[in-house]
A and B are shown apart, each in its own frame.
Chain A
């Protein structure tokens, strides 16, 4: 049980720390998102149809940010399918399994996009 506690505490700490970094990605602040992978490019369109309105560019808006969320991709996929809190579930008849693969490819690209040239001043 101690291990369980430490894991939870660690996750909670990660969640808190995630708010220290910016969730902004891509232009105009940073380099463009790499869309060379066709799956990422297809995923961008799916993101625009279902995610953009609440998470503009993957940042917070109506809903929390995605880009700096310290959870693995499979949990995001689970949340998309099943919903969480106010977020509705997007079932297979709305986003097919293939489309969800594309969407996750885009979200993963967003999350890992380099922001070394950050200028927050």
Chain B
């Protein structure tokens, strides 16, 4: 017993200092998750005083975006693809006043459709391109689909995203990277695409020079299980050398690009060096912003503890991927995950020093859909609203509690982040974990044309394991938030 007197303080100190290493992951999709039903209850959602939630539509399969036509009617897209290698035909649906759904257009199995906007009589949709490469589509009100751009290099981890259209008629869209941090590895095999496209890899937007760092990995199952050596910006199993130049080309990975809204011109580079630039939006002041899903702890070059970001997009800038995180160089133990190697830089020269983000958002929060409040009637005019899909732990890295699963607002002048809509409870978590009828995985936000209502596109239930992701069909929901007490 006496020895315990000496040991207890020591054990306490050790357990506290090693807290992260000792505790198991507790992500929002982990543990006991209710998969079979999706009850909805607006009262389960905490909102600021004077706001209320209501349900607009239910039963959607993987919804990812919403738009309004010139008559103010609501439309929603179903993605047609989800992580977990689930493929459907993507759809454009009109949400009728009674909540029923009318199919306007059906795409091919090349999702995910990641975003939609309406402009002068037509819909514009970003087709992710998991099977055939990304495309930007124009869809007429009677459902005719025309491709404005094709063969975008987004068959990997991240997809073709956007679009948003500027006042001068330029359609902006974004392309996610093929990999987590520049090196093709076993995680890409697990995601599924490396089996389909064994030569696919990241493409720089300008010529780059490599350090020549290589990574050893193997792929299950047999017969591919021999060790392979892979370098950055190269096909799996291809080593690189010090000073090797990788030629840049356009379209490229991790970039924001634009085309005239009527098409007819090759994509033009706006900015690059993003990892997964998911959602673009113009502020009321006309500035372009983008949300970025940052590094995961997976693959051959895992990076630990990196925030998702909200960036202001500036013409010609490089934003740091794959060697910077939130404007800081990835150059040491600070980014080393437990039991993993330090992720040192892989570029011998950096195009420039990247800027600082407007706001740093939760690590693994999957900060996705973005829109700005433009109305005093709703409030928070000029602030950015962001849908946080929520973590995919433990596959993307360990978390000690669920991260995301809510809608936040960001003051873009100060970088201050405030919760706007989140489930009630001791902690913020998806409804399927809390066993309530609230938010599950918000993936997009869209203000109504009059600016008085905020629509939240809720992807639905997704269970997450170390290697498996299990999304549940027909659990997507559209929520509407309105201000009921204008004086507040």
Contact = CB atoms under 8 A, between A and B. Distances in A.
Interface of A: 1-2, 4-5, 8-9, 11-12, 21-24, 26-29, 44-45, 48-49, 52-54, 56-57, 59-65, 84-86, 88, 119-121
B400 A85 contact: no
A54 B9 CA distance: 27
A12 B20 CA distance: 17
Interface string B395-424: 001111101000000000011111111101
Interface in B286-324: 304-308
Given A53-B363, A61-B363, A120-B425, A2 B403 contact: no
A52 B360 contact: yes
Nearest to B337: A86
A45 B12 contact: no
B364 to A, nearest CB: 7
Given A57-B419, A61-B362, A86 B305 contact: yes
Contacts of B363: 53-54, 61-62
Given A48-B360, A53-B307, A85-B18, A61 B8 contact: no
Given A28-B420, A57-B419, A45 B414 contact: yes
Contact of B360 (A27, A28, A49): A49
Contacts of A4: 5, 9
A85 B18 CA distance: 5
A26 B400 CA distance: 21
Contacts of B399: 61-62
B120 interface: no
A63 B403 contact: no
B5 A5 contact: yes
Majority secondary structure of chain A interface residues (helix, strand, loop or mixed): loop
B160 interface: no
B258 to A, nearest CB: 30
Given A29-B424, A49-B360, A62-B399, A85 B19 contact: yes
B447 to A, nearest CB: 18
Contacts, number: 122
Contacts of A52: 307, 360-362, 417
B364 A48 contact: no
B195 interface: no
B348 interface: no
B427 interface: yes
Interface string B356-367: 000111111100
Contact of A85 (B9, B16, B365): B16
Contact of A28 (B19, B47, B359): B47
24 contacts: A5-B4, A5-B8, A22-B426, A24-B426, A26-B418, A28-B46, A28-B48, A45-B414, A48-B414, A52-B362, A53-B305, A53-B307, A53-B362, A53-B363, A56-B403, A59-B427, A61-B363, A62-B403, A63-B400, A65-B401, A86-B19, A86-B20, A86-B338, A121-B424
B428 interface: yes
B249 interface: no
Contacts of B19: 64, 85-86
A20 to B, nearest CB: 9
Nearest to B415: A48
Contacts of B46: 28-29
B424 A120 contact: yes
A52 B417 CA distance: 8
B353 interface: no
Contact of A24 (B12, B49, B428): B428
A91 to B, nearest CB: 12
